[in-house]
Amino acid sequence: MTNIYSHNYAKELDEQDELKVFRNEFYINPDKIYLDGNSLGLLSKQAEKAVYTIMEAWKSVAIDGWTQGNQPWFHLSEHIGEKMAPLVGANSDEVIATGSTTTNLHQLVASFYKPEESRTKILADALNFPSDIYALKSQLQLRGYDTKKHLVQVESDNGHVLKEEDIIAAMTEEVALIVLPSVLYRSGQILDMEKLTVEAHARGIMIGFDLCHSIGAIPHALHDWGVDFAFWCNYKHLNGGPGSVGGLFVHKKHFGEQPGLAGWFSSEKEKQFDMDHDLTPAPHAGAYQIGTPHVLSAAPLLGSLDLFEEAGITKIREKSVALTSYLLQLLDHELSGYGFIVRSPKLAKNRGAHVFIEHQEAARICKALKASGVVPDFRAPNGIRLAPVSLYNSFSDVWHTVQNLKKIMDEKTYKNYSNKRGVVA
């Protein structure tokens, strides 16, 4: 039997990998191992082709591109939404490609936060990405509420994972809305969205999720779970490109309601150019668009989502679990005693698509890793995220990463760098 800690074992896993052919679909620097796909996914050849196709339509038919060509821009957001819907377990009309993560959160809170009488609070958590909390606080301030009193943030016992029973206990009669991450951006913990939705609805509270670190990495069933809304970015696991258009989900039970923030593309398509000053909202998730689609920023998703349709989210998740489990095995075997602490859940069912480790020298270790050819992700004050992505990373990538990390620690080359983050981390 091959030694599981050897490179030969990693190569055997690569030979058995059903998704290995997709690696050839991406532009990969042969001199680097890219493990930062949970911050920015790599460019695929399909995404590049889709951008050129949209550009060609602009070049050849100009304004008629809104209604002509293989992919008319007027319905682009809906079309991309249909392609994304299977990844979040939604009906095709419950998803729309639009806005950015924070813009979409503002829209959804403006639409579904309906304080009345004693129900005035928004429930969130203390481990969420800062931008979500910024948005929630600003929405409360716009309604005239004190954020210290009306934003409830569930704390973590250890600063890394949340207990679902603590979240449920915080679902009091004073809570009007709940917004939580599906996967925690640091530790990678997966929250039980179905359970939390059932508990919220049993108490008469609407609930939504930030899927930034789960879409394209784990399966969802938002419609069947009854989740009220969700929002996400598309530049991480979905490889939509830097600053690409985001996405949102609204359960069909809410169709027909006026969006909190109405805009030009909130309109029902057939009535949009009637130029009526009274909005007739689209009878689907499209009602929650605000502005004109960012066509060039949405274009890469057309190609990228074709790859996800071909690979299938179930197989993507299976390989992701195998990659992160293998990474944890190697870290435990090769780097025990080097001062690293694994903060990601050990159980695969509770872990997203990355591994989070801490070290007091994390910032300089990340710099040394990058110099060695491995691209990690640093999170202040002392965290390192390693994200092997199913569509373009290999088990050999994981093996070489741990070997590079061990060499850096043995030779102490990390001391050549300052232990401070860069401007962008």
Q: Is 372 annotated as a binding residue?
A: no
> Is 397 annotated for ligand binding?
no
d(CA 335, CA 341): 10
Task: Judge whether 292 is annotated as a binding position.
Answer: yes
Known binder of ligand: residue 131? yes
Of 242, 246, 194, the residue nearest 216 (C-alpha): 246
- What's the one-letter identity of residue 337? G
CB 124 within 8 A of CB 179: yes
Measured between alpha carbons, how far is 287 from 263 in angstroms, rounded to an integer?
9
The single residue listed with the structure tokens 């951006």 is: 185
Indicate if the alpha-carbon torsion angle 95, 100, 101, 103 is positive or negative: negative
Q: Was 129 annotated as part of a binding site?
A: yes
Cβ atoms of residues 40 and 242 within 8 Å? yes
Q: What is the CA radius of gyration of the chain?
A: 22
Strand partners, 385: 356, 377
Q: Is 400 annotated as a binding residue?
A: no
Give the 3-state secondary structure of residue 423.
coil
Q: Are strands 341-342 and 355-358 parallel, antiparallel or unpaired?
A: antiparallel
**Contact by Cβ (8 Å): 119, 112:** no
User: Is 134 annotated in some ligand binding site?
Assistant: no
**66 annotated ligand-binding residue:** no
DSSP string, 66-110: GTSSSS-GGGHHHHHHHHHHHHHT--GGGEEE-S-HHHHHHHHHH
Q: Is 235 annotated as a binding residue?
A: yes
According to the annotation, is 325 in a ligand binding site?
A: no
Q: What's the CA gap between 329 and 342, in Å, rounded?
A: 11
Query: Which strands, in side-by-side order, build the sheet including 383-386?
Result: 341-342, 355-358, 383-386, 377-379
DSSP assignments along 191-237, one per residue? P-HHHHHHHHHHTT-EEEEE-TTTTTTS---HHHHT--EEEE-SSST
Q: Is 210 annotated as a binding residue?
A: yes
Residues annotated in the binding site, as ranges?
101-102, 129-132, 210, 213, 235, 264, 292
Residues annotated in the binding site for pyridoxal 5'-phosphate, as ranges?
101-102, 129-132, 210, 213, 235, 264, 292
